[in-house]
Structure 1
Amino acid sequence: MGRAEERRARQRGGHRAAPKSRSRRAAGKNDGKSFIRRLFTWKKILGTFLGVCLLGIGGFIVLYLVVDVPDGNAAAQAAKLQSNVYKYSDGTVLARKGTVNREIVDLSRVDKDVRNTFVAAENKTFYKDAGIDLKGTARGVFNTLSGKGAQGGSTITQQYVKNYYLSQEQTVSRKLKEIVISLKVDRQTSKDDILAGYLNTSYFGRNAYGIQAAAQAYYRVDAEKLSVAQGAYLAALLQAPSSYDWAVASETGKKLVKARWNYVLDNMVEMGWLDSAERQTLKFPVPKEPKAAAGLGGQKGYLVALADTQLEDQLMEQKGLTRSEAEAQVVDQGWNITLNIDKKKQAQLEKAAKTQLTSKLDPEKRDVDADIQAGAVSVDPKTGKIVALYGGEDYFKHYRSNATRTDYQPASTFKPVILAAALEEKAKTQDGATIGARTVYDGTSKRQVVDNGKKVGFAPPNEDDVDYGDVSVQTAMNKSINSVFAQMGMDVGMDEVMKTAGRLGIDVEGEEAVAAQTLGTMGASPLEMAGVYATLDNHGKKVTPTLVASAEQNNQTIKMPDAIGEQVISPEAADTVTSVLTGVVDDGTARTSVRNNPARDGQEVAGKTGTSDFGRSAWFTGYTPDLVTSVGLFGEAAKASGKIREGDQVDMKGATGTLPGKGRVNGGGIPAQIWAAYMFGVTKTDAEFDLDTTQGAGVEPSWTPTVTEEPTTEEPTEEPTTEEPTSQAPTSQKPTETPSQTPTQTPTQTPSQNPTTSPPAEGTTPEDPFEPDLGQ
Structure 2
Amino acid sequence: MGRAEARRAQKRGTGPGTGGKKPKKTGIRRFFTWKMLLAYFVGVIALGAGAFYALYLYVDVPGEGNKAAQLQSNVYKSADGKTIARIGQVNREEVPLDKVPENIRNAVVAAENKNFWTDPGVDLKGTARGIINTVMGRGKQGGSTITQQYIKNYYLDQRQTVSRKVKELIISLKVQDKLSKKKILEGYLNTSYYGRGAYGIQAASRAYYNKDVDKLTLEEGAYLAALLQAPSQYDWSQATEAGKTNAKKRWNYVLDKMVEQKWLGAAERQSMQFKEPGKAKPAAGLAGQNGYLVEAAKREIIRDLVAQGRTQKDAEQEFEAGGWTVTLSIDPTKQKALEKAVHDKLLAELEPGKREVDKHVQAGAVSVDPKTGKVVALYGGQDFIQHQVSNATRADYQPASTFKPLILASALENNSKTQEKKPITPATIYDGTNKRPVVGPGGGGYAPENEDQHSYGPITVQQAMNDSVNSVFAQMVVDVGMDKVKKTAVELGMKSDFEETPAMALGAMGASPMEMAGVYATLDNHGKKVTPSIVASATHRGQEFSLPNAVGATAVDRNTADGLTSVLTGVVNDGTANVVSSAEYQVAGKTGTSDEDLSAWFAGYTPSLVTTVGLFGEDMEKNGKQVTLQNTGGNGRVNGGTYPAKIWAAYNAAVFGDDDKAKFDLETDEPAAPAAPPSPKPSTSPSASTSPKPSNSPSASTSPKPSNSSSSAASPKPSNSTKQPPTPKPSSSSSTGSSTGPVDPGTRPNGGLMPPP
Q: Same fold (TM over 0.5)?
A: yes
Determine which structure has more spread, i.e. the larger CA radius of gyration.
1
Q: Where does residue 443 of structure 1 map in the other structure?
A: 432
From 72, 76, 85, the counterpart of 1:86: 76
**2:118 & 2:241 partners in 1: Cα distance?**
37
**Distance in 1 (alpha carbons) for counterparts of 2:242 and 2:653:** 37
CA 26–486 in structure 1, closer or farther in 2 if over 3 Å, else same: farther
* Partner Cα separation in structure 1 for residue 439 and residue 323 of structure 2: 59
Residue among 352, 361, 371 paired with 1:372: 361
Give the 3-state SS of the residue equivalent to 2:600 in structure 1. strand
- In the alignment, the residues of structure 2 paired with residue 136 and residue 95 of structure 1 have an alpha-carbon distance, to the nearest angstrom, of 40
The answer to whether the aligner puts 1:594 opposite 2:584 as a matched pair is no
User: How much has 1:462 moved relative to structure 2?
Assistant: 0.9
Q: Is the 8 A contact 2:506 2:746 kept in 1?
A: no
Residue in 1 aligned with 2:601? 619
**In 2, distance between residues paired with 1:700 and 1:47?**
77
Is 1:311 aligned with 2:301? yes
1:26 and 1:604 map into 2 onto residues whose CA distance is 93
Shift of 1:316: 2.1
Deviations 1:635-663 (A, max 9, x none): 111103xxxxx211111222222x1xxx1
Partners of 1:602 and 1:555 in 2: how far apart?
Answer: 45
Quote how far apart the aligned CAs of 1:66 are: 3.9
RMSD: 3.2
2:664 pairs, out of 689, 695, 698, with 689
Instruction: Report the counterpart of residue 353 of structure 1 in structure 2.
Output: 342
Does structure 1 conserve the Cα–Cα contact (< 8 Å) formed by 2:527 and 2:555?
Answer: yes
Provide TM-score, normalisation by structure 1. Answer: 0.85
| 1:653 and 2:630 are equivalent in the alignment | yes
Q: Which residue of 2 aligns with 1:566?
A: 553
Q: CA deviation at 1:134?
A: 1.6
Q: Which runs of 5+ in 2 are unaligned?
A: 677-686, 749-757
Instruction: Check the 8 A contact 1:97/1:332 in 2, yes or no.
Output: no
1:741, CA displacement in angstroms? 8.9
Q: Which residue of 1 aligns with 2:418?
A: 429
Q: 1:31 to 1:357 in 2, by over 3 A?
A: farther
Secondary structure at the counterpart of residue 85 of structure 1: strand
Letter in 2 for 1:681: A
CA gap of 1:129–1:406, structure 2 versus 1, over 3 A, is: same
Q: Tell me how far 1:726 sits from its aligned partner.
A: 4.8
SS class of match (2:539)? strand
> How far 1:57 sits from its partner (Å)?
3.2
Per-residue CA deviations over 1:419-468 (Å, capped at 9, x if unaligned) read 1111112222222221111222121111111117x962201011121122
Q: How does 1:498-647 map to 2 (within 5 A)?
A: 498-509=486-497, 511-554=498-541, 556-591=543-578, 593-595=579-581, 600-640=582-622, 646-647=623-624
Q: Distance in 2 between matches of 1:682 and 1:51?
A: 71
Determine helix, strand or coil for the equivalent of 1:315: helix
Amino acid at match of 1:619: W
Q: How much has 1:551 moved relative to structure 2?
A: 1.5
Is residue 293 of structure 1 aligned with residue 291 of structure 2? Answer: no
Q: Which residue of 2 aligns with 1:708?
A: none
Shift in Å at residue 678 of structure 1? 0.9
> Partners in 2 of 1:687 and 1:189 — Cα distance?
69
Change (3 A) 1:565 1:744: closer
Q: Match for 2:401: what amino acid?
A: S
Residue 34 of structure 1: how far off its partner (Å): 6.8
Q: How far apart are the structure 2 equivalents of 1:219 and 1:740?
A: 59
SS of 1:550's partner is strand
Cα distance between partner residues in 2 of 1:234 and 1:88: 35
Letter in 1 for 2:434: S
2:263 is aligned with what amino acid? W
Do the aligned residues in 2 keep the contact of 1:542 with 1:566 (CA within 8 Å)?
yes
Structure 2 partner of 1:716: none
1:308 Cα offset (Å): 1.8
Residues 700 and 464 of structure 1: CA distance in aligned 2, closer, same or farther (over 3 Å) = closer
Give the 3 Å change call, closer, same or farther, for CA 234–692 of structure 1 in structure 2: same
CA contact (8 A) 1:580 1:695 kept: no
The whole-number CA distance in structure 1 between the counterparts of 2:271 and 2:72 is 43
3-state SS in 2 of match to 1:500: helix
For 2:597 and 2:38, locate their aligned partners in 1 and report how far apart those are by CA, in whole Å.
Answer: 74
Q: Which residue of 2 aligns with 1:191?
A: 181
Change (3 A) 1:482 1:26: farther
Structure 2 residue 720 is matched with structure 1 residue 728: no
What SS class does the counterpart of residue 248 from structure 1 fall into?
A: coil
| Distance in structure 1 (CA, Å) of the matches to 2:198 and 2:713 | 68
Aligned match of 1:362 in 333, 346, 351? 351
C-alpha contact 1:378 1:629 (8 A) present in aligned 2: yes
2:648 to 669, 675, 698: 675
Q: Following TM superposition, by how much is the alpha carbon of 1:38 offset from its aligned partner in structure 2, in angstroms?
A: 6.0
Cα distance change of structure 1 residues 514 and 724 upon mapping to structure 2, 3 Å threshold:
farther
Instruction: Report the CA distance shift for 1:26/1:551 in structure 2 as closer, same or farther (over 3 A).
Output: farther
**Total equivalences in the alignment:** 712
Looking at structure 1, the residues matched to 33 and 311 of structure 2 have their Cα atoms a distance apart, in angstroms, of 44
TM-score norm. by structure 2 comes to: 0.87
Q: Distance in 1 between the 2:462 and 2:554 partners?
A: 25
Distance 1:549 1:351 in 2: 24
- Alpha-carbon deviations, 1:531-579, whole Å to 9, x = none? 1111111111111111112222235322212222222212122112111
CA distance, structure 2, for counterparts of residue 613 and residue 745 of structure 1: 28
Post-superposition offset of 1:315: 2.0
Q: CA deviation at 1:410?
A: 0.2
Q: Is the 8 A contact 2:438 2:446 kept in 1?
A: yes
2:252 matched to which residue of 1?
A: 262
* Aligned position for 1:382: 371
Aligned equivalents of 2:704, 2:282: Cα separation in 1: 61
Q: Which position in structure 2 is the counterpart of 1:480? A: 468
Preserved contact between residue 299 and residue 394 of structure 1 (Cα < 8 Å): yes
8 A Cα contact 1:314 1:558, kept in partner: no
* Pairing partner for 2:485 from 478, 482, 497: 497
C-alpha displacement at 1:350, in angstroms? 1.3
C-alpha distance in 2 between matches for 1:430 and 1:701: 22
Separation (CA, whole Å) in 1 of partners of 2:715 and 2:628: 40
C-alpha distance in 2, partners of 1:388/1:223? 41
Segments of 5+ residues of structure 1 without an aligned counterpart are 1-9, 641-645, 704-720
Distance 1:192 1:550 in 2: 43
For the 8 Å contact 1:417–1:500, the answer to whether it is kept is yes
Amino acid at match of 2:447: A
**Aligned AA for 1:197?**
G
Counterpart code for 1:122: E
1:728 aligned partner, one-letter code: P
Distance 1:755 1:321 in 2: 58
Question: How much has 1:36 moved relative to structure 2?
Answer: 6.2
Alignment counterpart, residue 145 of structure 1, candidates 119, 135, 142: 135
> Equivalents in 2 of 1:736, 1:77: separation in Å?
73
Deviations 1:448-492 (A, max 9, x none): 11117x962201011121122221111111111111111111111
CA gap 1:653/1:560 in 2 versus in 1, 3 angstroms: same
Identify the residue that residue 161 of structure 1 maps to in structure 2: 151
Instruction: Quote the offset at 1:206 in angstroms.
Output: 0.9
Q: Which moved more, 1:188-197 or 1:386-395?
A: 188-197
Q: Does 1:202 align with 2:192?
A: yes
Confirm or deny: 8 A CA contact 1:466 1:722 kept in the other structure: no
CA contact (8 A) 1:200 1:211 kept: yes
Deviates more, 1:292-301 or 1:412-421: 292-301
Contact 2:592–2:744 (8 Å) recurs in 1 = no
CA separation in 2, counterparts of 1:694 and 1:141? 52
Distance in structure 1 (CA, Å) of the matches to 2:523 and 2:654: 22
- In the aligned structure 2, how far is the partner of 1:744 from the partner of 1:214? 59
In the alignment, what sits opposite 1:413?
402
Q: SS at 1:294's partner residue? A: coil
Asked if structure 2 preserves the Cα contact closer than 8 Å seen for 1:759 and 1:765, the reply is no
Distance between the aligned counterparts of 1:743 and 1:358, measured in 2?
34
Structure 2 residue aligned with 1:57 = 49
